[in-house]
Chains A and B, each alone.
Chain A
Amino acid sequence: MSVHLDHIIRVSPQNGRPIVNDVSLTVEDGSFTALVGPSGAGKTSLLRVIAGLDGHQGGTVSIDGARVDNVNARDRNIGFVFQHYALFAHMTVAANIGFGLSIRPRRSRPGRAEIERRVAELLELMQLSGMGSRYPHELSGGQRQRVALARALATEPRVLLLDEPFGALDPVVRRQIRGWLRDLHERLGLTTILVTHDRQEATELADTIALMRHGRVVQTGTAQQLEDTPADPFVMEFTGDVIRIPGRIDRGLFVADMPDIRAFAANAADGRGEVLIRPADIRLLPDAGSAMAWLRQTRGMIGTYDFTTGTQTLRFETVIPAGAAPIIVNCALDISAGRIAQGDGWIERQETGVAQPATPQSTGP
């Protein structure tokens, strides 16, 4: 089942500010999509809009091509796993899982034996066999997580929504469950949307990542696409380690404020700017300047350098230049593999024409 969001807007009922701001997103049938972003980005709100738990003030939500804006949450047949599981504390595990089936109107309700069979099946699928008669407070966090998942899957939903499902688990359990969840997704042929603030989790689980900030989807793509061609400095920082090097554009060249960083071509108007570069893309150039680089640690081909020039020091991990000594004197840095940011956007670095800031924003003083 595909999910299609078209210009969704949701405003805060408290202060009228947009929580979800003009979000359009397509989740393909059978795909695993992660909504990623810092807390407060609107991920959970968007998920609740999809589920129908919260209303939206603009745009449309379609499932399998049919608009569901006016379909009540209870009729959307969406599986939802809450951050804190939201298990029914007064019911056994089996009753929790069977809840969605046992409350159906009489004519569409499966028989008791059928419900029990289905519960047993799900317990086994979730590796919880024999725990049906326990109560939620008798289970570990990971077990509760799986009960919540089983409960959401019992009604055979069209779409599975997971809201920070691993947030409350310890790291070891979290890693185990991740692989298992992805496997489940494949086996059951689900369409899954996962909300997480953890980039690695998203990378490991999802085919597609939608990165959100301030209620907007900033960029959608595979993890690799986001890392390689980040739409803006925020995406670049969110998708990997970044070193920021401030400087200015001066007659078509980026000149760092720090000495011993080699200027490079930047076809943009004069003004302030900042280079964002993955540490691994930084090149150490021996005998090209007056700085000193001191190798503090090595890990295979990668070394942690303290690059010192004048009174300033920059620490980063990068590829150890071939044949370099632990202390490289008279060196300089090449950062031309980085991207130049001005404000929230990139400066275009096309070889032709005059570069423009990606977003129309004045440069800082």
Chain B
Amino acid sequence: MARFIFASAVYLLIGLIVILPVVLVFVMAFSHGLATALATFADPDALSAIRLTVIMTVLTVAINTVFGVMAAWTLSRFRFPGRGALIVLIELPLSVSPVVGGLVWLLVFGTQGWWGAALERWGYPVMFAPPGILLATVFVTFPYVTRTLMPVMIHNGREGEDAAVLLGAGLWQILWHVTLPGARLALLSGVLLTTARAMGEFGAVSVVSGHIPGLTETIPLHIETLYNGYQTVAAFTMAGLLAIMAMLVVTARTLIERRAGARGLIA
């Protein structure tokens, strides 16, 4: 009985908080019919936003995968002074507001900031241009790969790596052939988490983007612009697209974790 009540409560909550809004997004998107919704994608600014989002996501994932693997490996394998502080620092982006994540870059690269004026003079503006968006997105999604990888690396232990050393493997060979494949499901999971977050990031990107339609607007920013421009159908169609992209990623992640769970590869 208690189980029934709790299950119902959970269903109700998830229904109200998660499912209903997503359903409403699609209801709004198709409120004037499929053709009107699809017309959204005829707008070059919309296509540009999609393209920018995809590029930023791919790059963010690539960068954070490399950094995340390095960080997770270093932190799970070696004991060194300041290790604890480093773990806290890596998690910092999880705890600070994304707006702060954007503002810090503005402080560094804005023309009022440290290097911004010089960079702009050389023709490489960082802020209000894709590189700034990349920096902000990388900052916000920095912890995910490290945080999913580290526990698995610690759980997998050192024996496999020790065995590889004794068989003559070097550092890179160990990382590439032993450590990473041993944690590949966690890695994939972290990568997908990064992907989902990078696609949807609004706050940090909003600060550094300048909201220039067709140039520096990612999908979330473009949704806001459309909504503020009273283009409700287009706004919700883009939101629906983003929701579908996110759901695909989350589904992939769930499948991977289920597979991993079945094989006992994730503790």
| Residue from A13, A80, A104 in contact with B166 in the complex, judged by beta carbons closer than 8 Å | A80
Contact A151 B163 (CB under 8 A): yes
Given contacts A103-B164, A151-B167, 17 further A-B contacts (CB under 8 A): A73-B162, A74-B165, A79-B166, A80-B162, A84-B159, A86-B159, A86-B163, A88-B177, A88-B182, A89-B265, A90-B182, A90-B184, A100-B167, A103-B173, A103-B177, A151-B163, A152-B166
Contact A82 B159 (CB under 8 A): yes
In the complex, which residues 37-63 of chain A have their Cβ closer than 8 Å to any Cβ of chain B? 51, 53
Contacts of A53 in B (CB 8 A): 162, 165-166
Residue of B nearest to A53 (CB): B162
Residue of A nearest to B163 (CB): A86
Q: Is A137 an interface residue (CB 8 A)?
A: yes
Chain B nearest CB: distance from A333 CB in Å?
51
Q: Is A316 an interface residue (CB 8 A)?
A: no
Contact B169 A74 (CB under 8 A): yes
Q: How far is the CA of A13 from the CA of B79 in the complex (A)?
A: 10
Chain B interface size range: 20 to 34
A-B contact pairs, 20 of them (CB 8 A): A13-B79, A53-B162, A73-B166, A75-B168, A76-B166, A78-B166, A80-B163, A82-B159, A82-B162, A86-B163, A88-B178, A88-B182, A90-B182, A103-B164, A103-B168, A103-B173, A104-B168, A151-B163, A151-B167, A155-B167
Chain A nearest CB: distance from B255 CB in Å?
18
Contact surface of B with A, Cβ cutoff 8 Å: 79, 159-160, 162-170, 173, 177-178, 181-182, 184, 263, 265
Chain B nearest CB: distance from A151 CB in Å?
7
Q: Is A238 an interface residue (CB 8 A)?
A: no
Q: Is A294 an interface residue (CB 8 A)?
A: no
Chain A interface size range: 20 to 34
Q: Is A234 an interface residue (CB 8 A)?
A: no
Contacts of B165 in A (CB 8 A): 53, 73-74
Contacts of B181 in A (CB 8 A): 88, 90-91
Q: Is A264 an interface residue (CB 8 A)?
A: no
Q: How far is the CA of A152 from the CA of B173 in the complex (A)?
A: 17
Q: Which of B159, B166, B168 has most A Cβ within 10 Å?
A: B166
Chain A nearest CB: distance from B79 CB in Å?
7
Contacts of A82 in B (CB 8 A): 159, 162-163
Contact B167 A103 (CB under 8 A): yes
Contacts of B263 in A (CB 8 A): 137
Chain B nearest CB: distance from A11 CB in Å?
15
Contact A89 B169 (CB under 8 A): no
Chain A nearest CB: distance from B43 CB in Å?
46
